[in-house]
Chains A and B, each alone.
Chain A
Amino acid sequence: MKSITISVNDKKIHAEIPAPQTLLDFLRSNGIMSVKRGCESGECGSCAVLVDDEPRASCITLTLQADGKEVKTVDALSTRPDLSELQKRFIEVGAIQCGYCTPALLLLADHYLNNALSPSEKELREAISGVLCRCTGYLKPVEAIKKEFKAN
């Protein structure tokens, strides 16, 4: 067992964890259910998180690799009862179908919007291309995100 301290959405978690544990398992066992398990090989992106503001597939990241770092999930995008503007856009344009990949799409889109100097659709599509969606064809999610970068 290894001792770690990770800041998850600005809350410090100290834990004893088995060395091979993935960050995905760590987060879900700490009640962060927005991080989804889809492939366990880093290809579907449903488990995307930000580690020190860098997108990572938590299913192929060890918890140990996040030790001492800041992990952010979609839970940090808004506080109850309000949703973030981006979440509202997703709902408004109908960008959510089954919702399984939605937290990952929102998190990566938010990250892109926060970092892009002059956002473009092409760049945006690249930025979220690590998240597979089988329901929407990405049309409405992209529409929602574009509305948000036009609004700002």
Chain B
Amino acid sequence: MISSKDFRVVGKVTPRVDAEKLSRGKGAFSDDIEFRELLHLKVLRSPHAHARITSIDTSKAKALAGVHAVLTHEDLPRIPHTTAGQGWPEPSPYDTVILDNKVRFVGDRVAAVAAETSEIAEKACSLIEVDYETLEALFDPEKASKPGAIIIHDEEDSSGIFDKSSNIASKLEATYGDVEEAFKDAYKIFEEHYEVGYVQQASIEPHICITWLDEDDRLVIRTTTQVPFHVRRIVANVLQLPVKKIRVMKPRVGGGFGGKQEILNEELCGAFTMATGKAVRYWMTREEELHAARTRHPQKLFFKTAVSKEGKILAMEVRVIENTGAYGTHGHTVMTVTGNKIFSMYNIPNIKFVGEAVYTNLPVAGAFRGYGTPQGIFALESHIDEIADKLGIDQIEFRLNNLYKEGDSLPITSKMAEGGGADAQVIRSSGLEECIRRGAKAIGWGSPKEPTAVGRSRGIGIAINTQGSGIPNVDMAASSIKMNEDGSFNLLCGATDIGTGSDTALAQIAAEALCVPVDDILIYSSDTDMTPFDTGAYASSTTYISGAAVLVAAKKVKSQILDVAAEMLEVEKEHLICSDSKVSTQEGKIVTYEQICLYSLYQRNQFQIMAVGSTVSSESPPPYSVVFADVEVDDDTGQIRLLKLVAAVDCGVAVNPHMAEGQVEGAITQGMGYALSEFMPFDKNGAPLFKTFRDYNIFRSSDMPEIEIILVETYEPTGPYGAKAVAEVPISGPAPAIANAVSNAVGARVRSLPITPEKVWKELKNNNN
């Protein structure tokens, strides 16, 4: 069995390649660039949840000194598109135009101004006179498709919407076996529903975009993106420019979490540069980030599950109503992943999934770490816990009885895959059972601890889940490697490091394959003019897909190095060995990489040692996460104290163990926010009530409970050096684990997020009545 012990660089603690400059606070991010002349962009946003713009007068705004351009829907062509930032052809509906004559949520774009300072631009926005015809607004997803509901997308030119007249953006169905038949024979049937609301990615660096025309009049876009190549393609379409006229540069990015997959400002910024010929900067304020950027799709999930007397799950039917907000971006694919992951955990012979993504006049949902999985897993893992409880079976035993195991194939993956079609995935590596075993030991499963004070009860909960490693047959990556005279290599990747550390992981993979230290790999990502194509940083794809592309390129380069060495040493290539930046014969004759490169560039049969590697995978191996929560609940008030969280994760071989741990730590912290503190309330007119980090509570250093991270190594045979994904999988566990722990502590079952003391208190009261 191969393991990380067999590698020199992979699986070893390696400092991040960008750590020094980041620790010094060097100007590495999108906004850290200075221009002699720069216009500042501000967007006038809608105060109404649903309204038609009947007239718009920009004359006063344009007359303000320092204003260079004002754009409204009257100035730009209508090009329906999706802001989702996905591959082509796009699975999200084309229901958005750059500026529209209709607004569909509080915060929707109305007009925009570019001026010499942001203060002038803001003042000019306030001088734009807009007349609105307000329309009835739709806030309840369950009413969206009912007859008589107002139609949110009544424009004629949108396309790809499942049913405009009933506000259904997308519909999804999958089934195998026969649920109806199975329900007839069941020992017991359990029906329950669960609900999850809006939360926000909240990267600390907001969306920032700067655009300008270079000396060849090409549009340069420097932006905080996860998908530089999709930005180029989509902006080209929206601005009606050829792709060759656009260059997208991604500097360091201050966190993305899915929010920066969206094309939220690049097209608008670009439109102003095209209109003025000047450099334009757009910085989204935190208030704009919180309600006009993207969010996690709220869902209501209805479960019906049949079990046998022996505790086997016989059938499961799941119906989902998903709120995609005012636009349908990611609505379909997120719901696909919800279904796909719900049915990738337990071996259930009969299943049915029905999902409907509907429009409302609320903020737009999009991609957010986990991508449909946290919603589905909160419901599934709460539901499984409830069933085990009612059957009187230990929560772990019930799960182990029903789990998919290594070697099993996952029929759901051929029925419902994000990229459309794929063969049923086979689980080639699974550390799930070991994660459960080691996590249970760490939390003290089976030996309940005493509460720390009188009037409190203590409980433990578990939740397990999976994710993918890229989208099979869709995610594609390429990289190129070029050798330099000192034996170093330039590694150019389209893969997008957004703070995840992928530059380091990819450099480690190249260093391992090329037998050099990581220091000798100079990685650069990403610039559409310079680096090969990559679909981008999403779907936990970078290590698995882009890492495989780096490995392909590195192997080709190594082969060229051996060709040159064979010529220099006058021996057969097959008899040569690479190690420590040199090539040697079995007799001990040596040429260094430096000598090889100098020879190849200056001496004989000169050529550049260089190669491109490119990959697409038909497989998307599942990483696994098991989360245990230890909580204490106040018996009277429902106050929850999270005492400890254990996360055990199987990500195959962790290419960089510190970074893999870091991914788990960050993901579970976001998951704890989803569980306990993060939500987005609105007033009766659909206006957001939380506009700052004072209201929208993400965990602070002083809020953290005790955390224990366990990496369970497996070797994924299809991954580069045995690696699977790690970034998303740990985020889904905390919410159901905490809900299950609360139930275990005081018998209060909270079936919606966040789990607040008020909800617990209400359940306690219900139980007492």
Chain A residues with a Cβ under 8 A of chain B: 31, 33-41, 43-44, 46, 73-75, 78, 83, 87, 90-94, 96-103, 106, 125-126, 128-142
Nearest 6 Cβ contacts at the A-B interface: A34-B25, A98-B499, A99-B22, A100-B254, A94-B658, A33-B27
- Check if B768 is an interface residue, CB within 8 A of chain A: no
Q: Does B666 contact A (CB under 8 A)?
A: yes
Q: State the CA gap A52–B659 with chains docked (Å).
A: 36
Complex CA gap A43/B661 in Å reads 27
**Given that A41-B692, A73-B25, A103-B25 are contacting pairs, would A129 and B254 also be in contact in the complex, using a CB cutoff of 8 Å?**
no
The distance in angstroms between the C-alpha atoms of A36 and B224, with both chains bound, is 14
Q: Type the 1/0 row for B496-524, where 1 means its CB is closer than 8 Å to any CB of A.
A: 00111100000000000000000000000
Beta-carbon contact of A134 and B23 below 8 Å: no
Whether A134 and B25, one on each chain, are in contact in the complex, defined by CB atoms closer than 8 angstroms, is: no
Given the known interface contacts A37-B31, A98-B255, A129-B700, the answer about A91 and B19 at a Cβ–Cβ threshold of 8 Å is yes
Selected contact of A125 from candidates B23, B286, B704, CB within 8 Å: B704
- Is there an interface contact between A83 and B202, defined as CB atoms closer than 8 Å? no
Q: How many whole Å from B228's CB to the nearest CB in chain A?
A: 17
Secondary structure at the B interface, as helix, strand, loop or mixed, is: loop
A98 to B30, CA, bound (A): 13
Residues of chain B whose beta carbon lies under 8 Å from any beta carbon of chain A: 13, 15-16, 18-20, 22-29, 31-32, 34, 202-206, 252-255, 257, 283, 285-286, 498-501, 658-659, 661-662, 665-666, 668-670, 692-694, 698-704, 707, 709
A117–B702 CA distance with the chains assembled, in angstroms: 20
What's the minimum C-beta distance from B11 to chain A, rounded to whole angstroms?
14
User: Do B24 and A83 touch (CB < 8 A)?
Assistant: yes
The smallest C-beta distance from B289 to any residue of chain A, in angstroms, reads: 9
Smallest CB gap from A142: residue in B: B701
- Interchain Cβ contacts under 8 Å between A and B, 18 examples: A34-B24, A34-B26, A37-B283, A38-B205, A38-B206, A39-B693, A43-B692, A74-B25, A78-B24, A83-B24, A91-B16, A97-B499, A99-B252, A125-B702, A128-B701, A133-B701, A137-B668, A142-B701
**A138 near B704: Cβ-Cβ < 8 Å:** yes
B23 touches A136 (CB 8 A): no
> Which of B23, B28, B500, B668 has most A Cβ within 10 Å?
B23
Whole-angstrom CA separation of A96 from B252 in the bound complex: 13
Complex Cα distance, B202 from A93, in Å, reads: 25
Query: Given A34-B25, A38-B286, A75-B25 in contact, is the A91-B692 Cβ separation under 8 Å?
Result: no
Whether A137 pairs with B23 at a CB distance below 8 angstroms is: no
A109 and B212 CA atoms in complex are apart in Å by 38
Nearest chain-A residue to B667 (Cβ)? Answer: A137
What is the CA–CA distance of A33 and B33 in the complex, to the nearest angstrom? 9
Q: Check A102–B668 contact: CB distance below 8 A.
A: no
* Docked complex Cα distance between A128 and B702 (Å): 8
Known: A33-B32, A137-B704. A97 touches B501 (CB 8 A): yes
Complexed CA–CA distance, A130 and B29 (Å):
22
- Report A-chain residues with C-beta under 8 Å of the C-beta of B659: 94
| A87 in contact with B204 (CB, 8 Å) | no
- Contacting pair A44 B285 (CB below 8 A): no
A123 to chain B, nearest CB (A): 10
- Known contacts A136-B666, A137-B704, A99 near B28 by CB under 8 Å: yes
Does B19 contact A90, Cβ atoms closer than 8 Å? yes
Complex-state Cα separation, A101 to B700, whole angstroms: 12
Q: Nearest Cβ in chain A — how far from B373, in angstroms?
A: 19
A126 to B702, CA, bound (A): 6
Chain B nearest Cβ from A80, distance in angstroms: 8
Determine if B661 and A94 form an interchain contact, defined as CB atoms under 8 angstroms apart.
Answer: yes
Q: How far is the CA of A101 from the CA of B669 in the complex (A)?
A: 16
B670 x A134 contact (CB < 8 A) = yes
Question: Which one of A33, A93, A128, A134 lies within 8 Å of B204 (CB-CB)?
Answer: A134
With both chains docked as a complex, state the minimum distance between the C-beta of B732 and any C-beta of chain A, in angstroms.
15
Contact between B20 and A83 (Cβ–Cβ < 8 Å)? yes
Q: How far is the CB of A28 from chain B (nearest CB, A)?
A: 8
Q: How far is the CB of A58 from chain B (nearest CB, A)?
A: 13
Contact at B16–A94, with CB atoms within 8 Å? yes
With most chain B CB atoms within 10 A of its CB, the pick from A34, A43, A90, A134 is A134
Residues of B within 8 A of A35 (CB): 25
Report B-chain residues with C-beta under 8 Å of the C-beta of A138.
Answer: 669, 699-701, 704
Closest beta carbon of chain B to A3's beta carbon, Å: 20
In the bound complex, CA of A37 to CA of B281 (Å)? 14
Q: Which residue of B lies closest to A126 (CB)?
A: B702
Q: Is the CB of A99 within 8 A of B665?
A: no
CA distance A67 to B624 in the complex (A): 55
* 17 more A-B residue pairs beyond the given contacts A97-B666, A126-B702, A139-B704, with a C-beta to C-beta distance below 8 A: A31-B34, A34-B27, A35-B25, A37-B283, A74-B23, A83-B20, A98-B498, A98-B499, A101-B254, A103-B23, A103-B25, A134-B203, A137-B665, A137-B704, A138-B701, A139-B707, A142-B701
B205 neighbours in A (Cβ, 8 Å): 36, 38, 46, 98, 100
Q: Which residues of B contact A140 (CB under 8 A)?
A: 658, 661-662, 665
